[in-house]
Amino acid sequence: MTDTSDPTPNAEGGERVAKVLARAGVASRREAERLIEAGRISLNGKTLTSPAVKVGPGDELAFDGQPVGPRPPTRVWRYHKPTGLLTTHSDPEGRSTVFEELPKDMGRVISVGRLDLNSEGLLLLTNDGALARILELPATGWTRRYRVRAYGNADEKTLAALADGVTVEGVAYGPIEVSVDRRTGANVWLTVGLKEGKNREVRKVLDHVGLTVNRLMRVAYGPFQLGALKRGEVSETKLSVLRDQLGKLYPLDADGHAAETAEPVARPIGTAKAKPRPRSRPAGAKAGWAKAAQKSEPGHKARRRAARAEKAEPGDLTGAKPPRNPSGGRGKPASPKGQGGAHRRRRP
């Protein structure tokens, strides 16, 4: 008989079980908690009933009786989801799902966000639940971009106002960028960009301003593009490209493994940007910049000549600026500055 009592949480140094399951690609953290509630996760032979448990280095974690292996290298796929598929691992009504249509050799993967039944386009898939969670957060700041065909009338001023956010039926939506591409009869083609991706956000917001969406295709998710992918086609992102696109957001080593402490580093949406730090100046640069600013002021040359004249003794020319060419050109003696032509010998 299986022991269903929860084990005592491990000592410091362990990680919460939902996080371990997400990193191993079993499920996202939220889905992992549902798996625990369903009694499908066990730790050291005991079925878990609460996610408030930590997993240490020597613990044995299992999903449906199968051991959860070590964390695999992070992988990401682009998938062109067709309409008519649900973005879920199982549907109580028996409808077709995205994961049933994927190649079997991909193993268990998780979607980054969702596309509803009647939406199509780019869907990111990964075997790393921690990465999926980070990419879904609005704090990451990645823009989801859509091509939308809608029926109805909405002036561009109303659409432009969505950039300030809008509240629909008590739900507050963040800034949404909408541009009109073209109009064909009663339909209008739009390009829509947003960063939150709440449930059916595009459809609900456009319906709020008088537009009924009859086609919706996601064409980009952050730096990932749908490109020329055909409906139902899957393409894995190369590790070198993946490391470049994720950058400091989710650092990967040369083998594709993420740091154990990788967390989102982007600022939350809507917070003020930090003021840029002033550029550091080398020693003496401040005086040089001030001098350059003075030179640009009107009358600067006249003030310099007056200052030199005050320093010079009567009959002394040391306050005058020496000529650039001591010879004065053509071998003739240089004429003292400020003396006009009185010192020159006139021809008889």
Residues with a known catalytic role? 116
Report which of 139, 89, 95 is spatially closest to residue 114, judged by C-alpha positions: 89
For residue 42, give the nearest of 68, 62, 59 by alpha carbon: 62
Q: Which residues of 82-120 are buried (b: 16+ CB within 10 A; e: fewer)?
A: beebbbeeeeeeeeeebbeebeeeeeebbbbebbbeebb
C-alpha torsion angle, residues 110, 115, 119, 125 (rounded to 10) = -30
**334 close to 328: Cβ distance less than 8 angstroms:** yes
* Tokens encoding 213: 């969406």
Amino acid identity of 17?
A: V
CB atoms within 10 A of CB 72: 14
* CB distance 192 to 177 below 8 Å: yes
Q: Which of 23, 14, 16, 61 is nearest to 41 (CA)?
A: 61
